[in-house]
Structure 1
Amino acid sequence: MNRILPLETAVLIVVMATSFLTPFMGSAVNLSIPAIAAEFGDNALLLGWMVTGYLLTSAVFLLPFGRYADIVGRKKVFIAGTVLFSLFAALSGLAWSLTSLIWFRAAQGIASAMIFSTGMAILTTVYPAPKRGKAMGLTAAVVYIGLAAGPVLGGVMNHYLGWRSIFHFTAIIGILAALLAIWRLEGEWAGARGETFDFIGSTGYILALSAVLYGFSSISSVIWAKYILVAGLALMALFLHHQSRQQHPILQVELFRQNKVFAYSNLAAMINYSATFAVGFLISLHLQLVMGYDSQMAGLILLSQPVLMAALSPFAGTLSDRISPSILASWGMGITALGLFLFVFISVDTYLGLIIANLALIGVGFALFASPNNNAIMSAVEKKLYGVASSSLGTMRLVGQAVSMAVVTLLIASFVGDAGLNKNSAPMIVAASRASFMVFTAICIIGVFASLARGSKERSAPDDAKGQQD
């Protein structure tokens, strides 16, 4: 079988297949928000939690699952996560209320944590350093293909088959990916086999991060949210103290203290996603509820951003094998900040061509940032920490996405209030979007400095030619 499909190629195909799932579903679901609102009610806060709930559970379980996979085997956790992801996607398509949909999406988020805490680690283990940037660039390209396919296929499915078809389609793709992994991936990868798993630390981490993200997301709508946020921050401080005293922690605190490249690259990732993730959500609402396009047409318009991401990511990843990822990523963040700033001036009368051009500009910036930044993170640690590094990267990404949605949910709730997400509230939606883009621009500018702070000469951790397979 290895002659037909070498291990490196097999791993790349499987990781690319699963990397397609979440961005496809996320971008497709964004287009279906008005349809879901029409069926279950247009409560802006609950509709926001359909996205935020998924991101929250994904973020809080990533690190524990990454550490657990390093001990028991990454392939086991990866395949189990893919199967569960598909199951809860199918159940989301059968939801009978907005509340049930939120709970199924939250459960799906836990499954996605199992996938994304292991996929990048497996890929990094198998691919040697000189070829790693190219592999990550191809994986990033598939992520953006998912983002591109989501608006197009999701818009068509939502328009002709209803929003539930998006979840059913995702479930089918997930099962196919799981079968491919079972069929083609031989052996197992466990970089920390024999070490103990910190259950107390994992529980504290899950509770602390859940409280922080929930408190921040709900501070405008739940009276106790600020107290939950403070409690979460206090619990997080206790967790970090606990981890510094453990022989086998789930979070290598010293790694962030001593490894400048790793620390600032993770910070840059969190900031970038905080500034960019909700762009698709906002522009989807603008196109449908402000400008009057149907979901199918809106999907085609949104395609302008991920197409450029997909086209440029392999090039950016390969380039990061030759020159400093810090330089590429910082330029990418700067271009993204410019695109976000231009959206501050969006209005009811904004010319559609300008929206498309600006989405394309943000796509270029994100492509130049993501692959080089991922390469910098994974190349900054030794092999036994690949699971932890992959989970840290995933956690930063998802925390950033949750923060991005929390900002939007808070501002939409403030501007729209009880009016609901419908065409009658178009002026209020525009005002909320403008305020959101102001915040995102400021965040992204800070991110440029975080990206530059790691220096221009990243170091690679010791690496062997092919990676170890247990």
Structure 2
Amino acid sequence: MLLPSLSVSVANVGLPAMAAAFGAAFHEIQWVVIAYLLAVTTLIVGAGRLGDLAGRRRLLLGGIAVFTVATLLCGLAPNLPLLVAARALQGAGAACMMALTMAFVGEAVPKSRTGSVMGLLGTMSAAGTALGPSLGGVLVALLGWRAIFLVAVPLGVVAFVLTLRTLPGGAPAAAARRFDTAGTLLLAVTLGAYALAMTAGGSGPLTAGLLVAAGGGLALFAVTEARVPSPLVSLSTVREPVLAAGLTANALVSTVMMTTLVVGPFHLARALGLGPALVGLAMSAGPVVSALTGVPAGRAVDRFGAGAAGVIGLAGVIGGTAVLAVLPAAGVAGYVLPLVVVTAGYALFQAANNTAIMKDVPQDRRGVVSGLLNLSRNLGLMTGASVMGAVFSLAAGADDVTTAAPADVARGTHWTFAVAALLVAAGLAMILVSRPRSQVAGGPPAARADRPGRAPSV
């Protein structure tokens, strides 16, 4: 989980240097990021399902190998088109790594420690996000942009060796079933259209066309999955209230977390008048808190149960965003302290939600459900960057918030986080409605009698 997250955050820092090296405009160089995100988003569910059918360990090793080779190709790319192609290949490897790492938790870890391991995975992901900007800045300054890719190659080799030596082999969970190629392609096209609408479509006819294509693709995908004997995503599975609520809440909370990254820099710089160095320092609070709270959050899930921990985590996110919505521009502390509460709540919710969904998933569906969990997070992040950015601009009353008056930016911040609080409240309501009454009071996992064959909800 460290390497895929690091590959996103570290590449962003090197974009200006890459643009200068290749003589590329901004709209061209941004494809270095978009290609990676598109590959991860479109392939992650299919990668999880293929792991269920062909063997998760085998595909995870293949994904790490592809990721490592593609990372090397990124560092050696002689021109921008080849760099973008290598980034897409790197994203394909990352999709396998992200989907199957979480799927392995059910096989390699006792249920009593599932929360701790999920918290550790969250910590590693947050560490990659936090480490990327600082590490990337140093590498670009000292060695050039190619170093941000080449430094990850030995890490990929180490990950491959550790996976080969430590993870259990096991037989494919569903070797007799066929892979749903048609459904996989339809879902990839649908997700690709939505991802492009959120990341590169702007606000004109192109975005509308992409969203229409995504909606039509989703409808066609649902029809296809209802007819094939071995679907990529069983419709009965995603209609199960526990899983549906968990995935939806995951997307909503991820939307809110991206909101902090989109709105934060403008609020700190324009409303509070901070310089770039202080803005960067204040913005680092979120990833640092997330990295530090992941493991303790996982232990809390194991001790008190995913139900109670998930509700507390969501309550923390709601409380933090509500404070950001009503607090006046009261200096750096007035922004950072609620942000710390939001981030800690997010870490607790993630550990609880992932544990609740994954710990009782049938063996032959672990890969695809893990893929859906990762997908819901990615879709939330992309939606947050686009939709919540538009809410911020609208609330500030400015087409360009970089030149808006401080009071307008502060107003935009408050209204945007008010919307964010409502989104998380909706997610919490779905979680509470979907969960059995016996889990409302929480309690350690051993004290609960979850229904057989159904993953408990947070």
The interval holding the TM-score normalised by the smaller chain is 0.7 to 0.9
Matched, 1:445 2:428: no
Alignment-derived partner of residue 314 in structure 1: 295
1:153 partner letter: L
Once the two structures are TM-superposed, the CA of residue 390 in structure 1 deviates from its matched residue by 0.9
Q: Could you tell me which amino acid in structure 2 is paired with residue 318 of structure 1?
A: R
CA contact (8 A) 1:346 1:430 kept: no
Matches within 5 A, 1:294-309: 294=277, 300-309=281-290
**Distance change in 2, residues 1:370/1:41 (3 Å):** farther
8 Å CA contact retained: 2:180, 2:230? yes
Q: In the TM superposition, what whole-angstrom CA distance separates every residue of 1:190-241 from its partner, at most 9, and x where no partner exists?
A: 2111211111111111112222332344553452331332232122112112
1:308-338 alpha-carbon deviations (Å, 9 max, x no partner): 3233322322332343423322332232234
Question: Are 2:243 and 1:243 equivalent residues in the alignment?
Answer: no
Distance 1:225 1:393 in 2: 25
Shift of 1:123: 2.0
Offset from partner CA, 1:55-110 (integer Å, 9 cap, x none): 33212211111111111111121112112223333444456677765554333222
Counterpart of 2:36 (choices 49, 54, 68) is: 54
| 1:358 pairs with one of 338, 344, 354 | 338
The residue identity in structure 1 corresponding to 2:172 is A
Relative distance call for 1:440 and 1:427 in structure 2 (3 A) is: same
Q: Which residue of 2 aligns with 1:385?
A: 365
Aligned length: 438
Per-residue displacement from partner, 1:388-444 (whole Å, max 9, x unpaired)? Answer: 21111111111112222333665799999998x9xx758699589737545544433
Q: CA deviation at 1:374?
A: 0.2
Residue number in structure 2 paired with 1:7: none
- Residue 5 (structure 2) pairs with residue 23 (structure 1): yes
What CA distance in whole angstroms lies between the structure 2 residues aligned with 1:432 and 1:50?
A: 34
Contact conserved, 1:205 with 1:239, CA < 8 A, in 2?
Answer: yes
Cα displacement (A) at 1:160 = 4.4
Q: Contact 1:138/1:313 (CA < 8 Å) preserved in 2?
A: yes
Which stretch of the first structure deviates more once superposed, 93-102 or 315-324? 93-102
Q: Which moved more, 1:54-63 or 1:403-412?
A: 403-412
Question: Paired residue for 2:261?
Answer: 280
For 1:17-166, what aligned pairs fall within 5 Å after superposition? 19-31=1-13, 50-93=32-75, 102-166=84-148
| Identity percentage of aligned residues | 27
Contact 2:259 2:389 in 1 (8 A): no
Taking structure 1 as reference, are residues 413 and 426 closer, same or farther at Cα in structure 2, changes over 3 Å only?
closer
- Who is 2:351 aligned against? 371
Task: Structure 1 unaligned segments of length 5 or more: list them.
Answer: 1-18, 464-470
Letter of the aligned partner of 1:71 in structure 2? L
**Aligned mates of 1:282, 1:451 — CA distance in 2:** 27
SS at match of 2:302: coil
Is the 8 Å Cα contact of residues 266 and 396 (structure 1) preserved in structure 2? Answer: yes
C-alpha distance in 2 between matches for 1:47 and 1:418: 24
Distance 1:247-1:111 versus aligned 2 partners, 3 A rule: same
Pairing 1:421-440 to 2, within 5 Å after superposition? 425=403, 430=409, 434=413, 437=417, 439-440=419-420
Out of 174, 198, 203, the position equivalent to 2:156 is 174
Distance (Å, rounded) in 1 between the aligned partners of 2:417 and 2:144? 30
- TM-aligned CA distance change 1:185 to 1:125, over 3 Å: closer
Over the residues paired in the alignment, what is the CA RMSD in angstroms?
3.8
Moved more, 68-77 or 151-160: 151-160
1:262 aligns with 2:243: yes
Task: Check conservation: 1:79, 1:182, Cα contact below 8 A.
Answer: yes
Q: 1:332 aligns with which of 313, 333, 346?
A: 313
Q: Aligned letter for 1:320?
A: V
Deviates more, 1:88-97 or 1:58-67: 88-97
Residue of structure 1 equivalent to 2:213:
231
Matched-pair contact (CA < 8 Å) for 2:293–2:344: yes
CA distance in 2, matches of 1:35, 1:438: 37
**SS of equivalent residue, structure 2 residue 89:** helix
Q: Structure 1's 441 and 165: CA in aligned 2 closer, same or farther, altered over 3 A?
A: farther
Query: For residues 318 and 78 of structure 2, what CA distance do their matches in structure 1 show?
Result: 40
Q: Which moved more, 1:118-127 or 1:27-36?
A: 27-36
Q: How far is the alpha carbon of 1:271 from its aligned partner?
A: 1.2
Give the counterpart of 2:383 among 403, 411, 416: 403
Alignment-derived partner of residue 252 in structure 1: 234
CA contact (8 A) 2:53 2:364 kept: no
Q: Is the 8 A contact 2:313 2:345 kept in 1?
A: yes
Structure 1 residues 439, 125: closer, same or farther in 2, change over 3 A? same
Query: In the alignment, is the contact (CA less than 8 A) between 1:52 and 1:402 conserved in 2?
Result: no
Q: Write the deviation string for residues 316-368 of structure 1: whole angstroms up to 9, x where unpaired.
A: 22332343423322332232234345555899x87334443233222211111
Superposition deviation, residue 32 in structure 1: 5.1
Instruction: Deviation per CA, 1:125-175: give whole Å up to 9, x if none.
Output: 222322222222222222223233334433443454455433332333223
Q: CA 1:436–1:166 in 2, change beyond 3 Å: closer, same or farther?
A: farther
Q: Which moved more, 1:219-228 or 1:429-438?
A: 429-438
SS of the residue 1:212 aligns to: helix
- Structure 2: which amino acid aligns with 1:323? F
* Corresponding residue for residue 275 of structure 2: 292
- Distance of 1:121 and 1:351 partners within structure 2: 43
Q: Which residue of 2 aligns with 1:323?
A: 304
Q: Which moved more, 1:59-68 or 1:131-140?
A: 131-140
Deviation at 1:189, TM superposition (A): 4.8
TM-score (norm 2): 0.81
Q: Distance in 1 between matches of 2:84 and 2:320?
A: 31
Contact 1:268–1:447 (CA under 8 A) maintained in structure 2: yes
Query: What letter corresponds to residue 329 of structure 1 in structure 2?
Result: G
Q: Structure 2 stretches of 5 or more lacking a match?
A: 440-449
8 A Cα contact 2:139 2:145, kept in partner: yes
